[in-house]
């Protein structure tokens, strides 16, 4: 089952309009110059989440004759990710699509990149106070509402629930705070009995979940904003032989197997390849904004006219019934991962 993708049709219409303009204004249409390169930068670069995102990024780039590079740091470390971003800047790419681990520390690096001639868009997580030209993500508020309604439909509206969280990453923060606010407003008899930061660490999630279970034997549901913590949480629940409904965002091969086995109720997974595809398009169009002459004050204000504040790439609901469609090995069979 797929959640409706809002915003994408409008963005595609904008893209078509820009391409139409370019055919009249730019000889040969919108194409990359030889060697023109776009970089995708992430933290925890070995995480399987990025694989379909980069595939979508590459597919869009290939359509316009552009080169791509996958970059970032293998660590969950904001200092190291910023260092990798600055190394990317040295290469003077036409654009960088970045998943900022934290919002504010990326303001200055993003602004500096744009001031030096490299366009920057963000995806999945944002740095809204920076000069980034676009933000592509799934609707985290919609994900949280969907999760809250599903939890209540399964365990009732007067039960105990808990959340794990990853403070500081904008999309993960929204997935948690929005669910808590929604529960408080619509289901006041739902009781929050645990809220612990696990920071995408499966071992920390195992310990936190075990602690919550011990203190709250009637725990009915657990909401987790990412998949790494879900791995540890499920291990603790299985060890305790507890009956707890688990829902989380994103997916890993391990949590996919737990969904197939019935240990996780469902996952809400952003449409990753669409995220990468639209991420590239937004960055590319910002780098080729000379084909676009909008009716606003960009000429006197001095900002890039190709501003796309938010593109919703949509999300899929993964259950035992459709889990096979999200097998990363099957998806990557015959594809070049580099």
Query: For 128-167, b where at least 16 C-beta lie within 10 A, e where not — what string?
Result: eebbbbbbbbbbbebbbbbbbebbbeebeeebbbbbbbbe
Residue 1 confidence (pLDDT) = 52
Q: Tell whether the model's pLDDT for residue 20 goes beyond 70.
A: no
HEC per residue, 10-65: HHHHHHHHHHHHHHHHCCCCCCCCCCCEEEEEEECCCCCCHHHHHHHHHHHHHHCC
The 10s digit of each residue's pLDDT in 141-194 is 999 999 999 999 999 999 999 999 999 888 999 999 999 999 999 999 999 999
Residue 23 confidence (pLDDT) = 39
Rounded distance between C-alpha atoms, residue 79 and residue 282, angstroms = 26
The 10s digit of each residue's pLDDT in 76-95 is 999 999 999 999 999 999 99
H/E element, 278? helix 272-287
Query: For 208-233, b where at least 16 C-beta lie within 10 A, e where not — what string?
Result: bbbebbeebeebbbbbbbbbbbbbbb
Q: How confident is the model at residue 302 (pLDDT cuts 50, 70, 90)?
A: confident
What Rg do the C-alpha atoms of the chain give, in angstroms?
21
Q: Which domains does the chain have, with CATH numbers?
A: 37-138+272-289+306-314 (3.40.50.2300), 140-269 (3.40.50.2300)
Q: How many CB atoms lie within 10 A of CB 329?
A: 8
Q: How many CB atoms lie within 10 A of CB 330?
A: 9
User: Where do runs of H (alpha helix) occur along 187-271?
Assistant: 202-215, 227-240, 253-261
Residue 338 confidence (pLDDT) = 84
CA 50 remoteness from chain centre: 9
Q: Tell whether the model's pLDDT for residue 335 goes beyond 60.
A: yes
As a whole number, mean pLDDT of residues 94-108 equals 97
Task: Please choose, from the candidates 150, 156, 161, the residue with its C-alpha nearest in 3D space to the C-alpha of residue 218.
Answer: 161
As a whole number, mean pLDDT of residues 276-284 equals 98
Integer CA distances (angstroms), 39 to 66, 75, 97, in order: 11, 18, 6
Q: Tell whether the model's pLDDT for residue 248 goes beyond 60.
A: yes
Q: How confident is the model at residue 337 (pLDDT cuts 50, 70, 90)?
A: confident
pTM (two decimals)? 0.85
């Amino acid at each position: 089952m797929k959640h409706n993708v809002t915003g994408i049709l409008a963005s595609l219409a904008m893209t078509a309009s820009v391409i139409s303009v370019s055919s009249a204004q730019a000889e040969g249409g919108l194409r990359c110059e030889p060697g023109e390169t776009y970089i995708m930068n992430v933290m925890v670069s070995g995480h399987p989440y990025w694989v379909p995102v980069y595939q979508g990024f590459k597919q869009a780039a290939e359509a316009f004759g552009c080169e791509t590079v996958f970059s970032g740091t293998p660590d969950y470390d904001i200092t190291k990710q910023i260092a990798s971003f600055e190394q990317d800047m040295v290469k003077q790419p036409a654009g960088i699509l970045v998943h900022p681990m934290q919002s504010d520390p990326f303001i200055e690096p993003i602004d500096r990149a744009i001031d030096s001639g490299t366009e920057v868009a963000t995806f999945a997580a944002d740095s809204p106070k920076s000069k980034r030209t676009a933000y592509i993500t799934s609707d985290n508020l919609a994900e949280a509402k969907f999760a809250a309604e599903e939890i209540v439909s399964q365990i009732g509206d007067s039960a105990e629930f808990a959340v794990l969280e990853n403070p500081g990453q904008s999309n993960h923060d929204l997935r948690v705070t929005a669910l808590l606010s929604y529960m408080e407003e619509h289901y006041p008899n739902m009781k929050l009995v645990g809220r612990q930061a696990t920071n995408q660490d499966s071992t920390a999630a195992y310990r936190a979940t075990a602690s919550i279970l011990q203190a709250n034997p009637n725990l009915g549901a657990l909401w987790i904003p990412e998949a790494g913590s879900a791995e540890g949480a499920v291990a603790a629940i299985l060890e305790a032989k507890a009956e707890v409904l688990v829902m989380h965002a994103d997916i890993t091969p391990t949590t996919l197997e737990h969904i197939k086995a019935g240990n996780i109720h469902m996952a809400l997974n952003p449409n990753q390849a669409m995220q990468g595809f639209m991420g590239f398009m937004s960055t590319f169009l910002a780098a080729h904004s000379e084909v676009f002459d909008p009716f606003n004050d960009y000429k006197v204000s001095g900002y890039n006219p190709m501003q796309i504040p938010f593109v919703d790439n949509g999300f899929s609901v993964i259950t035992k019934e459709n889990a096979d469609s999200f097998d990363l090995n099957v998806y990557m069979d015959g594809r070049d991962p580099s």
